[in-house]
A and B are shown apart, each in its own frame.
Chain A
């Protein structure tokens, strides 16, 4: 787990303070373009930047609606071994994710990548993002019924600290990293939350 810097601690504190305000935005209907204030438009722009990371294969390969995770930058189904999500998101008996995926990337060529808690979301809450518009991805991400029961403050912390999230920026050989650095990404997450966690209208 990386050390939290002073700056990121301040960001997190800000996120916590604003979480209750932002929470009310969660249950609001999708705004129409004309409804958005300048702050709301800033929030939507911040999320659009976040979405470039969230829709990168490092994230999207496991945030899937189906039962077979994807892999590689092409998002190929992990079907050469018929890998399945299983009842808890960690695979099936004798084919658990961590039977091959260790706590860190393997150094051998073509060996499996790794990070702590390697898993898919459980079938009871798939947290699927594949195929969503940016606005729908935004609404999904801040909906506790679809994001792992997280408040916006908890979501901020998850994106800032979770080893599986951080792995996206250290994915090992042959895998690209998201288009923003983790620091740039978290700055956009903070901006999105601070400005009300607004989402683009449906279809955008």
Chain B
């Protein structure tokens, strides 16, 4: 067991845990942040996506050692009241069906929009190609990302 410190959703955390433990299990089992889901366990489905230092990492294959001293954002850290533009767009477009993959989809969408505030359909396809949805909500996901881009865009005449 080793002690590791990192930041999760803006708060410092300290864990005594094997640093080879996947970040996913540290988040879910040690910190109780169960919004991040276990899907395939081998980085193939994207359900476990969290943001690590700006990148949409697959937490099921990311050893905790990689997060040491770094900043992690999970779905719980986007906003306290679902006011993040991506979360809001997801609600407005009624994206989820079963919902299991949606936190991973949203985290990838957030990373995409930070890099590209006005993505094309192709940009969205490229960015979220690693997030699988067995319910097939891809069309609504795409619409929601365009809507989130609109919601995030600076309004004309406003500072």
Binding site for B on A (CB under 8 A): 81-84, 92-96, 98-100, 102-103, 106, 108-112
Closest to B52 in A: A99
Contacts of B126 in A (CB 8 A): 82, 84, 92-93, 95
Closest to B129 in A: A82
Cα distance A103–B61 in the bound complex, in angstroms: 11
Q: Say whether B127 contacts A112, CB under 8 Å.
A: no
Closest to B110 in A: A94
If A92-B127, A95-B129 are given as contacts, then 15 extra A-B residue pairs at C-beta distance below 8 Å, sorted by A number, are A81-B129, A81-B130, A82-B125, A93-B115, A93-B123, A94-B111, A94-B115, A94-B128, A96-B56, A99-B55, A99-B56, A99-B130, A102-B62, A103-B66, A111-B61
Partner of A112, one of B61, B112, B114: B61
Q: Say whether A94 contacts B42, CB under 8 Å.
A: no
The prevalent SS among residues of B at the interface is mixed
Q: Bin chain B's interface residue count.
A: 20 to 34
Q: Is B58 interfacial (CB 8 A cutoff)? A: yes
CB distance from A110 to the nearest CB of B (A): 5
Partner of B42, one of A82, A83, A110: A110
CB distance from B43 to the nearest CB of A (A): 4
Cα distance A66–B62 in the bound complex, in angstroms: 28
Binding site for A on B (CB under 8 A): 41-44, 49, 55-58, 61-63, 66, 108-109, 111-112, 114-116, 123, 125-130
Partner of A94, one of B41, B43, B44, B127: B127
Partner of B63, one of A93, A94, A102, A110: A102
Contacts of A110 in B (CB 8 A): 42
Cα distance A99–B114 in the bound complex, in angstroms: 16
Closest to B111 in A: A94
Contacts of B109 in A (CB 8 A): 94
Listed A/B pairs (26) with beta-carbon separation below 8 Å: A81-B44, A81-B129, A81-B130, A84-B126, A92-B127, A93-B111, A94-B56, A94-B128, A95-B127, A96-B56, A98-B55, A99-B43, A99-B49, A99-B56, A99-B57, A99-B58, A100-B58, A100-B61, A100-B130, A102-B63, A106-B43, A108-B41, A111-B42, A111-B43, A112-B43, A112-B61
Contacts of A95 in B (CB 8 A): 56, 126-127, 129-130
Contacts of A84 in B (CB 8 A): 126
Q: A108-B42, A112-B42 are in contact. Are A94 and B112 (CB under 8 A)?
A: yes
Contacts of A92 in B (CB 8 A): 123, 126-127
Cα distance A98–B53 in the bound complex, in angstroms: 12
5 closest Cβ pairs, A-B complex = A93-B115, A94-B127, A100-B43, A82-B129, A111-B42
CB distance from B68 to the nearest CB of A (A): 12
Contacts of B108 in A (CB 8 A): 94
Interface centre among A84, A109, A111 (most CB of B within 10 A): A111
